[in-house]
Structure 1
Amino acid sequence: MDKQVDILIVGAGISGLGLAAHLTKQSPHRKFEIIERRESFGGTWDFFKYPGIRSDSDMSTFGFDFKPWRETNILASGSAIKGYLSEVVDEYKLKSKIHFKHNVKSANYDSQQKKWIVQIENAQGKTETWVANFVLGCTGYYNYEQGYEPEFPNQKAFKGQIIHPQKWPENLDYTGKKVVIIGSGATAITLVPAMAKGGAAHVTMLQRSPTYIASIPSIDFVYEKMRKVLPDSVAYKITRARNIGMQRGIYALAQKQPKLLKKLLLKSIEMQLKGKVDMKHFTPNYNPWDQRLCVVPDGDLFKILREGKASVATDHIEKFTETGIQLKSGEHLDADIIISATGLNIQILGGIQGTIDGQPLNTSKTMLYQGVMVSDVPNMAMVIGYINASWTLKVDIAADYICRLLNYMDQQGYDEVIAQGDQSQLMEDTIMGSLSSGYIARASEVMPKQGKSGPWKVTNNYLADRKALKNASFNDSILKFSKREQHVEKKPKLVS
């Protein structure tokens, strides 16, 4: 054994740092260490380097509840978010807790010891054995090492450069170059205006089917005005509550009256395109929120398209050529650079091979209790953010629940907790719900499944989850607690 730890947090991204801050505040008696495979913290906000990288959620709700985002910009750049997370690291003294360039290879739960035996490759490439009481997965749900890169027909014939946004070359010079971006999701609609403004000769977004896109202001002028007449903390709380309500309201409208929301979204786009671009490129054949709704600040995408600096092609790829892409319609897209913004590969727990007493853990056969604890897996929780609201909203309430659980176990003298699964609750849908996005469809083999009801049902409803997790009792028929043998006769340790 190289290291004994109490709580092992896997991942120093927004989830891991948020959970660490909550533990520091709410469970100061519990010691934790953070494993991060990369050279820096921040996860997504340190990893992605493509032009224009930014949040696609408003910052009043994307910031942690314990550290308000004080700026008036609604969306924030990747570098601004990294700076915000750096402040969290400094304020909560987390830097010394993070072990960079450490990669978890495997984790086996020993039910006799009631501990996780974790094999870690350290910064020198050597294997270490860490023993942990709890493992908390904060790695998000996609594979940092490899994005989704389909092989296109005749791809090797292309003489130019092919780039995936996850592997953006440092100091890429695209000045005066013709760029084709394959995809229509959040990454693509961010790249198009950024590269067009950044000097590209022309940018074409090539999509198989359109995506719903909403334009939002870049500055929250209401918040800005409130700050002039109200204390900052009050103005922030009002703004945050308003935006949480708006997020939920738009999603609820999509579920109850999809035709109405579709009409509103398309009318807004039509007004911004001003007849310069065919609406067929922005009229999806599915309902709003069947796939994630994308947002653009101040309609920057539509402005670039109106000005002719970029264009959209809705078509299928027949093959790559030496000079670009041949479409099935007969059109040819000339390109010097092709960017494959084709999405993510889903990965759970950072790709760790988990076992319990040597038996492989199949996460696709599990559910999440209270959206946090993996069914039938002892002393493990994972943080998966919302798909229809700010990721961080879930981080805050999940972290608060985990802290309460740990404090309860300390008060009762428990060493182990298991959320006992009920196979009659298991559904085919994953915890990502009914989204039909490609990366969600590809996730069924690894993603925990949805439960039919109660604590096994992941609702993706922040307001409902906040109430449920805050009031959740640990004394139910699902959570099974136990002690190590040597602790059975000991008096429970009380923690104030």
Structure 2
Amino acid sequence: MTEPSATYDVVVVGAGLSGIGVARRLSRQRPDLRYVVLEARAATGGTWDLFRYPGVRADSDMVTLGYADRPWREPVMLAPAAEILRYVRDASAAGGVDEHVRLNHRVTAISWSGSDARWSVDVERTDTGQRLQLTSRWVFAAAGYYRYDTGYTPRFDGLDRFGGTVVHPQRWPDDLDVTDRRVVVIGSGATAITLVPALAERAALVTMVQRTPTYVLPVAGEDKLVGRFERVLGPERGYAAARRFKVGTQAALWRFCRRHPRTARRLIRRINVARLPAGFDVDTHFDPPYDPWDQRMCIAADGDFFAAIREGSVQLVTDSVTRFTERGLLLTSGRELDADVVVTATGLVMQPFGGFPIAVDDTPVTLPEHVVYKGFMLDGVPNFGFAIGYTNASWTLKVDLVADHFTRLVGYLRDHGDDACVPVRPAGLRVRPLLELGAGYVRRAQDALPRQGDVDPWRMTMRYRDDVAMLHDAPVLDDSLRLLRARSRAGQDAS
């Protein structure tokens, strides 16, 4: 049990895919460091334990979503949540992380003291209400980028009049049975594309209502590429080569779409037409008003979304919801949809760094006033790291690079007798939004996020190759990072 007086080298906030990844790096590379992982919920696994809606799975292949040093050995590449959760927990146990995890420990605030060069970390036990305070040299926020306690649902008029069931995917009830019921899913993002075909297996009819279409690509759920590489190069080298190949393929697809959006649109449309019934209105339902990768691409495992449309168990409606009625929904076009169950797959509520307040020497940190450094620190905030993965590739690719660089940086300061480091923003640095993605949940949160600069190391790059050069190949120190000593210690040294 964590004691109120406990002092650590690192406090990791969050025991999901990112937090476990950072902790595994600390255990493996710097076993001399004392760390703890604080998890607000009663279980590890983060997203993969939280979401319980039908069909929930990864939309990235597990070779790149998994940890680089722990090969994914299951045949399914777009793995269901239960298999990902088992993988994360097995990796945690094998990496010696479990003994460092404290469940039901919610971080409520952190405050930096320059005098002591320490963070005070306020913690509340979510199971008992007990309040604790820990101290640590470093804090690493790995709690994801969205609120776990609530999803985003826009205001719908007439919701109280509806006689059926309304549910958000983030709060899926265990006892909800859709067998032979009419289900309407509002939304067209990754969750909806995954959820709709799974619901269609039991429901009488599933209707997906989208204000605007999205790009959807069918991807094979199983992949024999890893096996082929391993047969030629052996298990270890073959797996590493397959992983590099997949990383390169993802990057090439993204670059092609960004450089040649018109061609990409035509190719995606051609793929969609081949998967849809003859005469289907592709231009209405699969022609987004934005270019590929202005928003994250949606993935249909083995083309299941298109198969459900072909079979007639799913219908698409491109329209807006005016209000709920007693029997269902009234759309802007005047069309009425009858429903027994309405699923509001309308997105997430972004919450950077776990949502807890941060203060440096009693001055509150206002995130939009700060700029990211190397994609994992903030200017003017000492000894604080965080994890934000890629929006155009597997999340873990970025987190794994950050975890390695962070661990080496913490170790360097420890080995050289320095207490702290802080990124210092250069004068005249031009800034822009942190995440240049058109998704609704990102747009709604831009004013609450830190910014990025226009030159390295102040850019939030979404290119794996660039991050390898900056986070893996380059030294942990550069001209933008200032080393510090505790003021109390500096005074003693001066005397």
TM-score scaled to structure 1, two decimals? Answer: 0.95
Aligned residue in 1 for 2:71: 68
The aligned counterpart of 2:315 is: 311
How far does the alpha carbon of each residue in 1:377-419 deviate from its partner, in whole angstroms, 9 at most, with x for none?
0110101100000000011100110111112112210011101
The answer to whether 1:11 aligns with 2:24 is: no
Q: What amino acid maps onto 1:74 in structure 2?
A: M
Residue 182 (structure 2) aligns with: 178
- 2:271 paired residue number: 268
Tell me how far apart the structure 1 counterparts of residues 492 and 364 of structure 2 sit (CA, whole Å).
34
Once the 2 structures are TM-superposed, how far is the Cα of residue 489 of structure 1 from its aligned partner? Answer: 10
Query: Is it true that 1:385 corresponds to 2:389 in the alignment?
Result: yes
Q: 1:241-390, aligned counterparts within 5 Å?
A: 241-275=244-278, 277-279=280-282, 280-390=284-394
Contact 2:27 2:96 in 1 (8 A): no
Contact 1:72 1:223 in 2 (8 A): no
The aligned runs of 1:218-237 (5 Å cut-off) are: 218-237=221-240
Matched residues in 2 for 1:133 and 1:238: separation?
37
By how many angstroms is 1:274 displaced? 3.3
SS at match of 1:333: strand
- Contact 1:426-1:449 at 8 Å conserved across structures: no
CA contact (8 A) 1:315 1:327 kept: yes
Alignment partner, residue 494 of structure 1: none
For residue 116 of structure 1, what is the aligned residue in structure 2? 119
- Give the number of aligned pairs: 488
**C-alpha displacement at 1:91, in angstroms?**
0.4
Q: 1:371 to 1:293 in 2, by over 3 A?
A: same
The separation in 1 between residues aligned to 2:12 and 2:108, in whole angstroms, is 14
What SS is found at the alignment partner of 1:107? strand
SS at match of 1:378: coil
> How much has 1:97 moved relative to structure 2?
0.8
| Equivalent residues of 1:425, 1:451 under 8 A apart | yes
Deviation, structure 1 residue 487: 5.1
Moved more, 336-345 or 1-10: 1-10
Report the AA paired with residue 383 of structure 1: A
| CA distance in 2: counterparts of 1:299 and 1:111, whole angstroms | 55
- Residue of structure 1 aligned with 2:462, choices 436, 460, 464: 460
Alpha-carbon distance in 2 for matches of 1:475, 1:490: 26
Aligned partner of 1:40 in structure 2 is 43
Instruction: Report if aligned partners of 1:70, 1:236 keep a CA contact under 8 Å in 2.
Output: no
Which residue, out of 442, 447, 450, partners 1:448?
450
Pick from 154, 160, 163 the counterpart of residue 158 of structure 2: 154
Distance in 1, Cα, partners of 2:427 & 2:49: 39
Contact 1:68 1:236 in 2 (8 A): yes
| 1:357 CA drift (Å) | 1.6
Alpha-carbon shift at residue 484 of structure 1 (Å): 2.8
Deviations 1:413-449 (A, max 9, x none): 001110112363242312x12x111111011122111
Residue type of the alignment partner of 1:334:
D
Amino acid of the structure 1 residue aligned with 2:258? Q
Rounded Cα–Cα distance in structure 1 between residues aligned with 2:267 and 2:398: 28
Deviation track 1:342-363 (CA, whole Å, cap 9, x = no partner) reads: 0011101111011112211111
**Residue 470 of structure 1: aligned partner:** 472
- C-alpha distance in 2, partners of 1:153/1:485? 57
Letter in 1 for 2:122: Q
Q: Secondary structure in 2 aligned to 1:88?
A: helix
| Cα distance in structure 2, aligned partners of 1:87 and 1:10 | 20
Q: Deviations over 1:318-350 (max 9, x none)?
A: 111011001111211110000000001110111
The partner residue of 2:96 within 93, 96, 116 is 93
Give distance in 2, aligned partners of 1:156 and 1:478. 55
Deviation of 1:212 after TM superposition, in Å, equals 0.4
Aligned partners of 1:287 and 1:7: how far apart in 2?
42
Q: Which amino acid aligns with 2:45?
A: G
5+ residue gaps, structure 1 = 492-496
Contact 1:277 / 1:306 at 8 angstroms: preserved in 2? no
Pair 1:104 & 2:116 matched: no
What is the Cα deviation at residue 23 of structure 1? Answer: 0.7
Q: 246-255 vs 470-479, which deviates more? A: 470-479
Q: Which amino acid aligns with 1:307?
A: E
What are structure 2's unaligned runs of at least 5 residues? none
SS of equivalent to 1:454: coil
In the TM superposition, residue 216 of structure 1 has moved relative to its aligned partner by: 0.8
- Structure 2: which amino acid aligns with 1:466? V
